[in-house]
């Protein structure tokens, strides 16, 4: 795969397969997946529970290795990089929002959001200042000193989103980023993601069941049983399919 073929792609997934377990209990979760995540786009991944969405985005984020296939993220051949190189790449270029938030319980909100910057070697005071700015952007400016256990689910989700945005990564990958958010906060978060995707060489990849946010997508990939079954590019002539808006296949 040449670099030029990937020049406008944030992530290029070709023939990726993944199984879990051994012998009789072996389960093939991803079956030769192809997916192009374009720079400048919000790409959404939809499909029923258990179809492999989290597994696929974990592979794209470099936290899980595939069994076979090609994976190129911003021109980097992730499957041929060392673990240390992938860790460095992730720290600089990927912001990941976990389905279960994964905040560190002993740290305050501001400290949690500072972590990606500290990993990059930014001084603590500067990191915390930037963390407070991003927390304010997601409406959490009054909660910077709270710990995760003192927050509602939607508030924890917004701290997790701030942590994924704070170091301005090129690729933001989110697992159900609006599931715990009300309409107003869901809108604020999607506006932030849109401003990220509009950046010339950035992209947002979102797993979602939330039909309130589909209209923000440039591309919607539908998964079922470990396969991509349809890719729909959304534009004025091709709006979000009605079936999706009415909850089919979710
Ligand atoms: N580490 C693991 N070991 C064994 N099986 C796993 C593992 N991770 C996921 N699976 C299985 O792989 C399948 C796909 O899981 P995955 O989490 O990717 O689904 P999903 O589409 O994200 O579902 P949901 O919408 O419920 O989050 C499921 O059957 C799940 O039980
Ligand atoms: Mg999942």
Model pLDDT for residues 222-250, shown as the tens digit of each residue: 999 999 999 999 988 888 888 777 765 55
User: Six-digit token pair at 77?
Assistant: 């051949």
Residues in contact with 44: Cβ distance below 8 Å, sequence separation at least 6, in sequence order: 205, 206, 207, 208, 213, 214, 217, 219, 220, 221
Q: Is residue 141 part of a domain?
A: yes
Output the CA–CA distances (angstroms, integers) from residue 26 to 29, 52, 68, in the order listed: 9, 15, 16
Say how many domains are in the chain: 1
Average pLDDT of span 184-197: 90
CA neighbours closer than 13 Å in the CB half-sphere of residue 28: 12
- Considering only CA atoms, which of 103, 11, 104 is closest in space to residue 66? 11
Q: Is residue 74 part of a domain?
A: no
- Assigned domain for 190 exists: yes
> Are the CB atoms for 151 and 159 separated by under 8 Å?
yes
Give residue 49 CA to ligand 2 midpoint distance, Å: 7
Any ligand 1 atom below 6 A from CB of 20 = yes
Residue 174: name the closest of 136, 146, 208, 150 by CA. Answer: 208
Q: For residue 52, how far is its CA from the centre of ligand 1 (angstroms)?
A: 6
Angle between helices 153-165 and 183-198 (to 10 degrees): 10
pLDDT band, residue 2 (cuts 50/70/90): very low
pLDDT band at 24 (very low <50, low <70, confident <90, very high): confident
Residue nearest ligand 1's atom 28 by CA:
50
The alpha carbon torsion through 162, 164, 169, 170 (nearest 10 deg) reads: -110
- Specify the ligand 1 atom closest to the Cα of 226: 14
In a domain, 63, yes or no: no
Please give the model's pTM, rounded to 2 decimal places: 0.92
pLDDT average, residue stretch 120-147: 96
pLDDT at residue 37 is higher than 50:
yes
In a domain? residue 28: no
Cβ pair 105, 124 in contact under 8 A: no
The tens digit of pLDDT for each residue in 106-116 reads: 999 999 999 99
Residue 6's pLDDT band, with cuts at 50, 70 and 90, is low
- Domain harbouring 158, CATH code: 3.40.50.300
Please identify, by atom number, the ligand 1 atom nearest to the C-alpha of residue 55: 18
C-alpha–C-alpha distance, residues 130 and 231, integer Å:
37
CB atoms near residue 129 (< 10 Å)? 14
SS3 124: helix
HSE-up (13 A, CA, CB side) for residue 26 = 8
Say what the pLDDT of residue 64 is. Answer: 95
Q: Which domain, by its residues, includes 101? A: 40-57+90-245
What b/e readout covers 18-47, taking b as 16+ CB neighbours within 10 angstroms? bbeeeeeeeeebbeebebbbbbebbbbbbb
CA dihedral for 30, 35, 40, 41, sign (positive or negative): negative
Of 63 and 24, the structure prediction assigns the larger pLDDT to 63
> Which of 162-166, 175-179, 199-203 ranks highest by mean pLDDT?
162-166
The whole-number average pLDDT for the span 90-95 is 93
Alpha helices (H) in the chain, listed in sequence order: 53-60, 83-93, 109-119, 124-137, 153-165, 183-198, 242-245
- φ, ψ for residue 76, nearest 5 deg: -100, 130
At 180 the pLDDT is 86
What is the CA angle 65-68-74, rounded to 5? 65
Q: How many Å lie between the centroid of ligand 2 and the Cα of residue 50?
A: 7
Q: Which pLDDT score, from 0 to 100, does residue 3 have?
A: 42
Decide if 98 is inside a domain: yes
Mean pLDDT of all residues in 50-72 = 96
Residue 237 lies in a domain: yes
- Kindly state whether residue 73 falls inside one of the protein's structural domains: no
């Amino acid at each position: 795969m040449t670099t030029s073929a990937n020049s406008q792609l944030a992530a290029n997934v070709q023939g990726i397969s993944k199984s879990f377990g051994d012998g009789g209990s072996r389960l093939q979760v991803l079956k030769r997946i192809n997916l192009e995540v374009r720079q400048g786009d919000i790409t959404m991944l939809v499909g029923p529970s258990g179809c492999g969405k989290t597994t696929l985005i974990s592979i794209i984020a470099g936290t899980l290795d595939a069994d076979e296939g090609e994976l190129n993220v911003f021109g980097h051949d992730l499957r041929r990089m060392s673990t240390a190189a992938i860790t460095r790449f992730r720290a600089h270029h990927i912001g990941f929002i976990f389905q279960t938030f994964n905040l560190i319980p002993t740290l305050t909100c501001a400290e949690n959001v500072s972590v990606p910057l500290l990993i990059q070697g930014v001084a603590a005071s500067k990191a915390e200042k930037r963390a407070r700015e991003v927390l304010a952007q997601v409406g959490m400016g009054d909660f910077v000193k709270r710990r995760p256990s003192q927050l509602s689910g939607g508030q924890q989700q917004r701290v997790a989103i701030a942590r994924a945005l704070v170091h301005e990564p090129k690729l933001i990958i989110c697992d159900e980023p609006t599931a715990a958010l009300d309409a107003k906060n869901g809108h604020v978060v999607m506006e932030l993601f849109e401003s990220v995707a509009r950046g010339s060489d950035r992209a947002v990849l979102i797993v979602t069941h939330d039909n309130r946010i589909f209209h923000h997508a440039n591309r919607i990939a539908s998964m079922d049983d470990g396969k991509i079954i349809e890719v729909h590019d959304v534009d004025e002539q091709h709006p979000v399919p009605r079936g999706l808006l009415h909850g089919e296949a979710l």
